[in-house]
Structure formats: C-alpha cells, structure tokens
Chain A
Amino acid sequence: MSAQNQEIAFDITWISNVQVNQPAVLRRAEQIQTRRTVKKDWQAAWLLKAVTFIDLTTLSGDDTSSNVRRLCYKAKYPIREDLLKALNMQDKGITTAAVCVYPARVSDAVKALKDAGCDIPVASVATGFPAGQTHLKTRLDEIRLAVEDGAKEIDVVINRSLVLAGQWKALYDEICEFRKACGDAHLKTILATGELGSLTNIYRASMVAMMAGSDFIKTSTGKETVNATFPVAIVMVRAIRDFYWKTGKKIGFKPAGGIRTAKDSLAWLSLIKEELGDDWLKPELFRIGASTLLSDIERQIYHHVTGRYAAYHDLPMA
C-alpha cells in the first residue's frame, strides 16, 4: 500500500464556499452509469480487475471463526482456477484486496490468511461500528486493539452528530485522533453518507476526513438504509480530486453497501476511470466493500469462458 496520508492543518475555507448542486449531480450520475459499456474480453478483464478491488466482507452478529476462515480462503481463491487458466490469467495472483471483519474476528482472519499462505491484509471496522455512538475513549481503544490483533487497515465510522451540528473542526480533531491510534495501519474513514442529510455535507465531511489524514474515504457502513449510490460517489470523488489538486495527495475511495452485481461493479470502475483517471484504478486507491458481489462476478466469468450460465453448485461458496 502507498505511504500513509498525514494530517494537514484544518482549513475551513476548503469547505465553507462549496455548494453541491444536487440536480446536476443526479444527472451526471445517470449518465455515468450508462455511457461506458464494456463487452466481451474487455468485460472479462474489467471484472477480474474488480475482484482485486474487493474488500471481501462479513459483518454479522453470527460471524464465527469458521465462516471467517471460509471467507479468507475465498479471498485467496476468488475465481475458479480453471476459469483463470482459460483466460490465461492464472499467474496474475488475483485475490481480493482485503478481508473485512468485526474487531473480535480480526485474529481469526489473520490466522486463516496465514494458513492460506497469503499476505492479503485484514481490515477491521472500529469506533463503535456502525453507529459510532460510543465514547471517544472506547472508540480509540477499539482501534488500538484491532491493530494489536494484526489488522492492517481500520475502517472507522465518523460521529454523524458532529456533521449535522456543523462542528467541522471537532470532526477534524476526532479523525486526527483516529489517525494517531491507527499507528502504521491504514485509516479508512466511513462517512455514513446516508445519514449526513445533504450532498453538500457529504462533500464537506469528505474534505475534513482527508485533511485529518484518512487514507481512504468510504461511503457507508452497509447498515444505513441508503448505502453506496452514484450521486454520493460523484460528490466524494470530486472532493478527492479537489484535494489532489490542492495538495498533490491521492486519497483512496471505497464505496460499500448494496453493490451486488457484476454489472454494478463495472459501472463503479468506469466512474473512477472517468472522474479520477486510471491512476486510481488500483487497490491502493480504490476498493469495493462487498460480500455477495464476488459470486456474481465469478458467475459472469464462468459464462464468458464456457458460454453457459453456471448452476449454483458449479462455483465454490465463500
């Protein structure tokens, strides 16, 4: 992964003058989903690329070491080997970008991935995921413990009340503290955009999170009623672009929640390509948080290779 982002001084002028025009964003979102079809070999290559962006995720109350272990092996072998061979892609080391779990499951995941003999990073959600409604002290402890257990990436949720109250400096300070608590681990900041009230707030929260040293900004926990949508994504990637133009720093983007189909994933890739450029099309700067997406991609690859639609039992479960 690229070098960590470091916080920069809080500058209110970077956010105070910005107004997001929602109808215009909605129209751009509509366009971007339909204007960049990829077909045939291009589709297969793009889908395999999408696999390498996936943060393969399980965030359930009934997670145990057994299903986390299964997930880790699926992360290592996301696409059936014979399918990769048919595409001459077996030696490309295609795995998912990370495995993402609750803090209590980090050690299970670390062990399973070690057993599988791979160095896929483990990402842990933290800071009172998904609501963030716990004391700052326990939220910071949560980060430290997950890092101690071997998490290389921490997906923190922000304190939505600070956004809704317009306390941008306080939000900045909190995220700076998260940054410190992460140590060497990467900080991925979840904005929970479905609960921020407006696209303008989403832009401002994105900018604050980047100023405070986030390596990634992420749309959602997957637990809000509205998760990763294209309008939200456009606002966030435009914030990333503005931040890059101002500072020269490239910050990553992670949509999460509700991305289930191979077709969806292609649209997300073209959104990144169009709005941020090819530089961002790598796991260091783009992730997709998903749990069921991988199996749909594998089905599409199966169809591309064989010309047949796969039965449920043709593809190994996660």
Chain B
Amino acid sequence: MAAAAATVTGPSAGASGVRSIFSTMDYGPAPESPSLVLAWLDKQGSTLGHFVNGKWLKPEGQEPVTCRDPCSGELLASCLQADDGFVALAVDVAGRALEAWSPLPGAARAQHLLRLAETLRRHQKLLWTLEAMASGRVVREVRDGDLPLAQQLLQYHASWAQTQEQALSGWEPVGVVAVVLPPAFSFIEMMWRICPALAVGCTVVVFGGPASLSALLVAQLSEEAGLPPGVLNVVMGTAPPETLLPGLPGVAKVAFSGPVQGGLRLLVQLSAYEEMLWKLETRLRRVRQGRSLDWAVDMGTRGPAAWERAQSYVQEAQSQGAQIFQDGSTPPQSPFFPPTLVLGLAPASPCAQAEVPWPLVTVFPFRTAKEALAMSNGTPRGGSASVWSERLTLGLDLAYKLLMGTVWINAHGLKDAAAPVGGCKENGSAWHGGPDGLYEYLHPVGIPPRPQGPPQLLDYDKFGLSAPPVLPSGTSPASATAPYGVFVAGRFQNPSSRSSRPVLGSGGRICAHVAEGGAKDIREAVEAAHKATPAPGWASRVPGSRASALWALADAVSQRSQELAEQLVEVTGSDLADTRTEVVLSIARLRAWGAQVHAQGAGLHSAGPHGPFLRLREALGVLAIVCPEGAAPARLCVSHRVQRPFSSTLSSWQDMAGLLPPGLVNVVTGDRDHLTRCLALHQDVPALWYFGSAQGSQFVEWASAGNLKAVWANGGRSRCWDREGEGAGPELGLRAARTKALWLSLGDI
C-alpha cells in the first residue's frame, strides 16, 4: 500500500535483492535516464539564454535565475531574466518576421508546421525528459499525453493553414502574439497557443519562467525545422510580463493562463456516497508519487509553491470543519503532496468557495440531480466538468445544462486538437483548439485593428460615476404617440431618476426627450433579461420559433419603414433616400439572422477511439450592448441572435413590444458613460459589447476583469454598420454565442 515510490537509486539491488523482492513483491525504481537532457544543457553553457530571431541570445547585465528539478531540488540550469528593453527587442523581431510570414501562402505555412512536427518527433525523448525534469510532471504523462497531442495539434493546424485561403477567407492574422506560459505545464500549453497562431500567419513571442525549459527547446527545434527566424521566439523571465505587454506597441494579442490543472470538486449522489468514498480511498492508497523521471509513478510534484498552497488549503479546510483523507505513507519532509480528499465542507464555508488547489479533491454529497446542477453552476468556475451516469437521458441533460466550456460524459480529461477548450464565467472566454482557437488569432479583413499603445490615464473610480445633470433647455415637438420611459420587461416604465434627456436632432434642435436611465434601471433590466432566458424562455425555444419571432419583427419594421425613415431624417439630418436604405437594410438583417437561427447548432466530430464530441453553440445568457452613437444609448439583449443594434426610434418599439417575449430585449436610455459603468460592473452580465469611446473601451475592459465577462469593445474606432463585413459578418455570429464541447463516450459492444 506504499504511496511514495522509492527514490531513484542505483540500477541493481544485488543478487540478494532478487530474493527479498521475490517475497515483498515491491515496485522498484524505473528511471528514465537524464543524460540526454544533461548533455543538452551542458551544450548551452552555464546559463541558458533566450531564443530570439532564430538564435540563442545571452545579453549582458540580465540577472540569472536558477531552474531546479521540483522533485529533487537539483539545479538544472540558470536562466536569464529579460528586462523591458529585451522584451521590446523580441517583440520588434517578431514584428519584422511577420512581414514575411503572414503573406506566405497557407500551404507553405502548413509545410512549416509539418516539418516542425517531424522535428519534434525526431527529438521526442529529449523533449519528454526535459519537460518532465523541469516541470515535475511524470514522464509518462508527457510522453503518452503531451507528445502525441502536440503532433496532432501541429497536423490539425497545418490542415487549416493548407486551406486557409478558402476556409478562412475574410480573416487575416492579428499580428504579433505574446504567449505567457503558466508556471508548470509549459510544453503542451505552449503548443495549444502557438499552433493556431503560427498556422494563420501570426508570429509569436513566448514568455516562460524557469520551468519552461522545454519552450526554449521547441524554439531551437523550430529553427532546425527551418522555421524562418523571428517567427517563434522564447524569452525567459520570472517577472510576469502581463503588465508590460498590453502597452507594448506591436503586440496585437496577449494569450496567457493561470495555473492549468487545479484540484477537483466531486459531487456524489447521497445514496452512493459512502461506497464511493470507500472506493476512492482504496484507489488513492495505490497512487504512487515520486520523481518525475520514474516510469512507474503516477504523480510528481509542482514545486514548493504548489505544495504550500495545498497545505494551507488543507489547514484552512480543517479549521472550517472538514475531514481530510490522505494516504499516510508520504514522509513529512517530502516534496510530494499526497492526493487528498477534503470531506464535509459546507458550500457556505469559505474554503468551498475558494479555488481548490492541486492535488486536492473536495467531495460533496447531493440529493438530486437538480441539486447537483445547482451546486455545480453555483460556483464562479466554468472550465470543464465530467458527468458520470449510466442513464443516457440524465447524463445528456446534465451535460447540456452545466455552464462549462467542456463537459465529458462518462470520461474525464479527453483532449483533441479539433475540440475547443475554453470556458465561461471566471474561466474567461478565450479558446484553444478547434475553429474557436483559430479565431483567437484572426481578425476580419478590412476592419483596421484596435489602436495599440499604452493604456491612457483614466480614473477608473470616477469614470461614468454619475450622469451630468440635464436641465430644461427648450421645447420638443409634442407627440401623442411616442412612448416614454425605459423599456424593461416588455413595457415602458418611468426611469428611476424621474428625469429626461433631450435627443438633439440635426442642427442642434431637440427632436425628442428620452428617459434618463440609471443604476436601478440597469439592475431591473438585467433581472428581466435573466428571467427571459431559462426554460421555458427564449434560449430553450425551438430554432423555428426564434426565427419566426425575428421575422415578425422584421415585418413590423417593414410596415412602418416610411415613418422610421422620416424620423431618422429628423434625428440624423441625412437624406430620406439614405435613411430609407438604412431601414431596408435593418429589415434585411433581421431576416438574415432569423434564417441563421436554423443554421446554428451542434456539430458532431469524431475524435478517436474514445468517442465523438459535440461542438455546441450556446446562448451567452444576458448580453449587454452599449450601442454606437446614433442608436439608442444602451440596450440589453438576450443572445441567440442579437439583431444588429441599429438605430430605431422609440416609437417603433411600442408596436414591436408585443412581438418579443417580455424581458428579451430591454432598452435603457441615458448617459452613455454612466450606463456603461453600471453594466460593466454588474457581475451577472456575462457578456458586454461596447461601441463607444476609446476611454469607455478601456474602462469596460478594466471593469470586466471582475467576472471575466466576455467583452467586445471597439477601442473608440467607429464601425461601418452598413457594410456587410462589419455590420453582419461572421465576426458578429462568432461573438453572439458561446461554444461548448460535449464529449460523448460510447461503446458497450
């Protein structure tokens, strides 16, 4: 029942050893030789440099930092730490390489990726040994998991590159991508990000810490594979460059991630709870921990910091009344933290809310599937989950209803290059793998990229804190028909401020008054939108029903098109002919998105012997849109095809209100900055589109970090909504829904 494996000793236990092993039947050490890695490190000299522009660079004056084997504490190498100047240099190198790399035909880039795959295969032993030694993950996991997946990632993305001109027409590479690696797991996490970036024509600067030696090796091998210098660069440093990078001119995108594999949360049905625990404990007693280079161990270590995190969580949990199960055979001074069950935590205790560190499993009983769903969706995390049930109906139902990026049914941890990995809620909205991973590095052709540069000086505490007062300042045309108020839950109601603001038409003349919305109106609008979403609401309606609702709306707009066009003339001062075109376009867009409701949905993809996965496109939930100038100032929509936020004056809403379910679309008018602040700081708004000023964009992005809402902000650049690509292109479709990968394991024959 020993858990901690013997440390790696000499190769033979001697002739008397066979006798004693014969009676104990213990496992022995089965070490992978580190000699290849030691020779490679030796060749680099005493200090590893950076790999930039196709060569090793060791600039003077950079502070070296040591890289140690987390299992043994042995010194592996010294790495340099890049300073700001060197980071800028690397980005500059990548920027120059971009000029030749991105115009290459996709087919040529595909060849490069395939050659890289071949080169990695040639040096796979060096790679898996180095990754295991530097990261502390067991060598078997790296060899049997990471390396085949890396090959698959390169091949998969080579296929996209090969067909890029057809399959991804209308999109272009974003430019230089900065990839910030998590502390452990450097190799495969890097591959998930660099493969799509390189495939579509971006160049990459990878930032790694001391555990990321394999990243340097991959960069060196990419040079051997003939990748042009500067296309893939690796810069070492322990200081997190997240703060430095976004402001650096030339970086188009920063891809980073926190600790990759945390602990787990296990929910077990009460009727099976005791038996399940018993089985789990039995299994945990057989988990072997030891040096990452031992072929017969299950778990290595993630270093002292991870050990500390786990230990303090355990102590915290105990103080909050939890019971701890650990196999008792890990020696106290060991660098290995044993796999641990944390039992009896109440969901309300602080530990149950906190992120569970590796290698801990918190176990909770549940009474019904409904309760399990509530418990699971009731945390801020939305990465991945697995559902275990022998009942297909139950398993699928849960899988659909879990708010997660990936759900495995009767399996756990399956990966495939074609299966997008991402999440929702606090897991963020970035994706790796599959088509979703590609679009992270693409940008629609013809839309100039967001202006880059350091963030402006902006007082986040003050931005939009209150709406400037509006005093009576003139007359407005009396209109008996125009409704007044904020449009929430299907009706116009008085704004909480009981104030109004004038809408200035062409020539500065007041053409209407709209309600002055505020925080309370936003709160009510978000509530109303949430009520409209769940079953039997909008998102669970059959596509046909959603389509016909949009088409009915189109008809209603169409019937009043003349009136609308005239009102638009009054507000915008444009020609009647132009506003007519605009109204006709609005109607066409409504119809087009209505039609697309049918096209959207699930795609079934085959993924090897474990069974296929479904790529689902799900509703974002509540989507907040801060409309561009000339449109109603703010509008709340439930996604599943949001029609384009086009200017439509309020009077038309009265007729249309009845066409959509109450709460589906809510409109709050008022001061743009103030309403933006209310929306961005609302934790229960999972997605926000902002089309306004550069300052507003910056605020929205800053504020959204609170719940990692999916943000689409224009950075102050105006968008030509009447152009097909910008006003109706695939980018809107991509942003308007969320992906979920649902793995179906099959096989009982």
Q: What residues make up the interface of A, taking CB atoms closer than 8 Å to B?
A: 19, 21-24, 26-27, 34-42, 44-46, 48-49, 86-89, 92, 198-199, 245, 269, 273-274, 277-278, 281
Q: What residues of chain A lie closer than 8 Å to B15, measured between beta carbons?
A: 86-88
Beta-carbon contact of B18 and A45 below 8 Å = yes
Not counting A39-B28, A40-B13, A89-B18, a sample of 11 additional A-B residue pairs whose C-beta atoms are within 8 angstroms of each other reads: A23-B611, A35-B298, A37-B295, A41-B14, A41-B17, A42-B27, A45-B25, A49-B22, A86-B15, A87-B19, A281-B25
| Closest residue on chain A to residue B746 by CB atoms | A23
Nearest CB in chain A: distance from B125 CB, A: 16
Q: Tell which of A19, A35, A46 touches B140, judged by Cβ atoms closer than 8 Å.
A: A35
19 A-B pairs with CB atoms under 8 Å apart are: A19-B390, A22-B747, A23-B411, A23-B747, A24-B410, A27-B411, A35-B298, A36-B296, A37-B30, A37-B296, A38-B27, A38-B28, A39-B11, A39-B30, A42-B13, A45-B21, A89-B18, A198-B749, A281-B25
Beta-carbon contact of B30 and A24 below 8 Å = no
Q: Which of B1-33 contact A (CB under 8 A)?
A: 1, 11-19, 21-22, 25-30
Q: Tell which of B11, B26, B278, B747 touches A40, judged by Cβ atoms closer than 8 Å.
A: B11
Beta-carbon contact of A38 and B296 below 8 Å = yes
Beta-carbon contact of B411 and A24 below 8 Å = yes
Report the bound CA distance from A42 to B8 in whole Å: 13
Q: What residues of chain A lie closer than 8 Å to B11, measured between beta carbons?
A: 39-40
Report the bound CA distance from A8 to B686 in whole Å: 59
Q: In the complex, how many residues of chain B place their beta carbon closer than 8 angstroms to a beta carbon of chain A?
A: 36
Beta-carbon contact of A87 and B25 below 8 Å = no
Q: What residues make up the interface of B, taking CB atoms closer than 8 Å to A?
A: 1, 11-19, 21-22, 25-30, 140, 144, 278, 286, 295-296, 298, 388, 390, 410-411, 610-611, 745-749
Q: What residues of chain A lie closer than 8 Å to B17, measured between beta carbons?
A: 41, 45
Report the bound CA distance from A37 to B746 in whole Å: 30
- The B interface is mostly helix, strand or loop, or mixed, namely loop
Beta-carbon contact of A22 and B748 below 8 Å = yes
Beta-carbon contact of B16 and A26 below 8 Å = no
Report the bound CA distance from A206 to B295 in whole Å: 33
Contact A92 B746, CB 8 Å, known A24-B411, A38-B28: no
| Closest residue on chain B to residue A85 by CB atoms | B15
Beta-carbon contact of B18 and A278 below 8 Å = no
| Closest residue on chain A to residue B143 by CB atoms | A34
Nearest CB in chain B: distance from A97 CB, A: 15
Q: What residues of chain A lie closer than 8 Å to B28, measured between beta carbons?
A: 38-42
Beta-carbon contact of A34 and B144 below 8 Å = yes
Beta-carbon contact of A21 and B13 below 8 Å = no
Report the bound CA distance from A245 to B295 in whole Å: 31
Report the bound CA distance from A170 to B29 in whole Å: 49
Q: Tell which of A35, A92, A277 touches B296, judged by Cβ atoms closer than 8 Å.
A: A35
Nearest CB in chain A: distance from B63 CB, A: 41
Q: What residues of chain B lie closer than 8 Å to A86, measured between beta carbons?
A: 15
Q: Which of A24, A27, A42 has the most C-beta atoms of chain B within 10 angstroms of its own C-beta?
A: A42
Report the bound CA distance from A23 to B15 in whole Å: 43
Beta-carbon contact of A36 and B16 below 8 Å = no
Q: Tell which of A36, A41, A245, A269 touches B18, judged by Cβ atoms closer than 8 Å.
A: A41
| Closest residue on chain A to residue B413 by CB atoms | A27
Report the bound CA distance from A88 to B748 in whole Å: 48
| Closest residue on chain A to residue B748 by CB atoms | A22
Report the bound CA distance from A87 to B16 in whole Å: 8
Q: Tell which of B18, B746, B747, B748 touches A87, judged by Cβ atoms closer than 8 Å.
A: B18
Beta-carbon contact of B12 and A40 below 8 Å = yes
Nearest CB in chain A: distance from B408 CB, A: 10
**For the complex of A and B, 3 pairs with smallest distance between CB atoms:** A42-B28, A45-B21, A23-B745
Q: What residues of chain A lie closer than 8 Å to B296, measured between beta carbons?
A: 35-38
Beta-carbon contact of B16 and A88 below 8 Å = yes
Q: What residues of chain A lie closer than 8 Å to B298, measured between beta carbons?
A: 35
Beta-carbon contact of B21 and A42 below 8 Å = yes
Report the bound CA distance from A39 to B11 in whole Å: 9
Contact A88 B19, CB 8 Å, known A23-B611, A35-B140: yes
Q: What residues of chain B lie closer than 8 Å to A27, measured between beta carbons?
A: 411, 610
Beta-carbon contact of A273 and B25 below 8 Å = yes
Beta-carbon contact of A89 and B19 below 8 Å = yes
Beta-carbon contact of A38 and B747 below 8 Å = no
| Closest residue on chain B to residue A43 by CB atoms | B28
Beta-carbon contact of A92 and B22 below 8 Å = yes
Report the bound CA distance from A21 to B390 in whole Å: 7
Q: What residues of chain A lie closer than 8 Å to B18, measured between beta carbons?
A: 41, 44-45, 48, 87-89
Nearest CB in chain A: distance from B395 CB, A: 11
Beta-carbon contact of B13 and A46 below 8 Å = no
Report the bound CA distance from A22 to B1 in whole Å: 27
Report the bound CA distance from A86 to B19 in whole Å: 11
Q: What residues of chain A lie closer than 8 Å to B1, measured between beta carbons?
A: 277
Q: What residues of chain A lie closer than 8 Å to B747, measured between beta carbons?
A: 22-23, 26
Q: What residues of chain A lie closer than 8 Å to B278, measured between beta carbons?
A: 245
| Closest residue on chain A to residue B21 by CB atoms | A45
Nearest CB in chain A: distance from B364 CB, A: 21
| Closest residue on chain B to residue A197 by CB atoms | B749
| Closest residue on chain B to residue A36 by CB atoms | B296
Nearest CB in chain B: distance from A40 CB, A: 6
